[in-house]
Amino acid sequence: MRVTAFLSIGMLAALTASAQDFGAAKERILLLRKLPALVHLSGTTFKVRATAHSDQTQLARDLQTQLETELMKEDPHLRADERAPSAVIVCQITAYSHPPPTVSTKPGLDLKVGVAMNQSYKRVTGSLNVSFQAKSAGGQVLGSDNVTAKYDEEFDGFGNSASGGVKGAVTTTWKRIKGGSSSESLNPPTDAELQALLMADAVRQIAQHLVNTEESVEVFLARQKGALDAGDKLAEAGLWQRAQETFETAPPLQKLQDDAYRLYNIGVADEALAYQAEDEASAMKFLDEAAINYGKAIDAKPAEKYFLQPQKRIETAIEHYRKLEDQQIQKGAPATSKTDKLNAKSASDARPAASAKALTNAQVIAMVKSGVDDETVAQTIRSSKAVNFDLSTAGQQGLTGGGVSAQVLTAMKARARQSVAAK
């Protein structure tokens, strides 16, 4: 199955930054993500039936209407038909929670007078659980699942979002950047707005099971004079492979919390490359790498709220592809997953007619320790007929510990991707 995506880029006016961060005027990049459907709806007509507890009938009606609209928007061949549907989607709202906001006080710094003082924060939470089942006109179950939409945000006294889901104390309060409608995190949502956010999320999750979906994803790139800004410009031009190499080969900063932004940018590049991938195996590989780098960034600087949402988004995409892979295995589909391709590659390499012995981590480390320069090692990797690299987190740590540079590691990753895609 071909996995494609288109990237559109919108850049805000940049301010000069002397340190790595997201800056007052962050660079925003829109990625258009496409996810393949997990369920094959029979025919071109459908109807949605939604139920809920007696005090939530309006919520059920909203779910039915919005899901019908979303399915027809994503697949123009589908149309709602109450009388003679080819498929029936039955939904039940099993739980809806929107407790009153909680208010807390935390130590902070008043930037106006430069003194420590307590700050007031409002935490808004909510959740919506929906179970659904898709059936053919004859009653055959085509697919079913449960989805959960959650909201958890904390806002400071100025109305700014202070966390991406409450995570530790906030030590500094910054006034909102002026920018009219373009300013982000505008005040806590009202009850009606919170309900709308949860409903839209649940509807999107259900639709992703039933039809091929497209979703515009806004991401930020961290900025710093030097390698990060150079990589950002390549990303702006859509040159994600080169941007990734620029971020990866940049010298790590001494302080891990500062280097977190470089790791985060690598994750963004990995995610963008996943959406550009030609097949599911390559997409999964890039998504795995993005999850690893986002996770490293969070570990290095857990207080940075912009690191949290990308990791959750990647985990959702990975879970989606894993479900698709499991379905293909259960149906006895041809080997198209990353695991199947690697197994097929191993079997092929074991045959007598196989090509030259695959290049391994140990051989790369041996070349480096013998004094071969990085460019020669990288060229050897690129021209190798077969590779069998361990590029897991532990494998990369072993390579780094063995003296392998970022330049060589980047070449190894690029060659490994070519190997998987060629199968």
> What CATH number has the domain bearing residue 267?
1.25.40.10
Tell me: do 293 and 371 sit in the same domain. no
Provide the residue-wise pLDDT of the chain in tens; the chain has 423 residues: 444 443 433 333 333 334 555 654 457 888 878 888 999 898 999 999 999 999 999 999 999 999 999 999 999 999 999 999 999 999 999 999 999 999 988 776 665 566 667 788 899 999 999 999 999 999 999 999 999 999 998 888 776 666 543 232 222 222 222 233 333 456 889 999 999 999 999 999 999 999 998 888 888 898 888 888 888 889 888 889 999 999 999 888 888 988 999 999 999 999 999 988 878 888 888 998 999 999 999 999 988 878 887 877 888 888 888 888 877 777 665 544 444 444 444 333 433 333 346 888 888 888 888 777 888 888 888 878 888 898 888 888 889 888 999 888 888 988 888 877 665
| Confidence at residue 77, expressed as pLDDT on a 0 to 100 scale | 94
Q: Which helix (H) or strand (E) holds 319?
A: helix 308-330
Residue whose C-alpha is closest to residue 88's, from 39, 38, 140, 137:
137
pTM listed for this prediction:
0.63
Domain region containing 314? 1-35+221-338
- 311, 338, 365 - which closes a domain: 338
Say how far residue 360 (Cα) sits from the centre of its chain.
30
The DSSP annotation for 12-77 comes to: PPP---SSSB--SSPEEEEEEEEE--SS---SSEEEEEEE--GGGHHHHHHHHHHHHHHHHHH-TT
Q: Which helix (H) or strand (E) holds 116?
A: strand 115-136
Report the distance separating Cα 167 and Cα 139, nearest Å: 46
Q: 398-422 burial by CB neighbour count: b if 16+ within 10 A, else e?
A: ebeeeebbbebbbbbbbbbbebbee
Is 183 within the bounds of a domain? yes
- 211, 244, 261 - which closes a domain: 211
Report the distance separating Cα 169 and Cα 403, nearest Å: 39
Tell me: do 133 and 263 sit in the same domain. no
Tell me: do 3 and 128 sit in the same domain. no
Is 344 within the bounds of a domain? no
Tell me: do 139 and 83 sit in the same domain. yes
Is 269 within the bounds of a domain? yes
Query: What end-to-end distance do the CA atoms of the chain give, in Å?
Result: 14
Tell me: do 127 and 226 sit in the same domain. no
Tell me: do 130 and 207 sit in the same domain. yes
Say if residues 350 and 388 touch (Cβ distance below 8 Å): no
Check the CA dihedral 181-187-189-190 and report its sign.
Answer: negative
Is 216 within the bounds of a domain? no
Is 150 within the bounds of a domain? yes
Tell me: do 268 and 287 sit in the same domain. yes
Tell me: do 108 and 31 sit in the same domain. no
Is 174 within the bounds of a domain? yes
Is 343 within the bounds of a domain? no
Beta strands in 137-235, from DSSP E residues, in sequence order: 141-155, 161-163, 213-221
Is 345 within the bounds of a domain? no
Neighbours of 75 (CB within 10 A): 18
Tell me: do 202 and 104 sit in the same domain. yes
| Confidence at residue 247, expressed as pLDDT on a 0 to 100 scale | 92
The count of domains in the chain is: 3
Tell me: do 31 and 90 sit in the same domain. no
Tell me: do 120 and 171 sit in the same domain. yes
Say if residues 177 and 24 touch (Cβ distance below 8 Å): yes
- 338, 369, 401 - which closes a domain: 338
Helix (H, G, I), strand (E, B), or coil: what is residue 8?
strand
Tell me: do 283 and 194 sit in the same domain. no
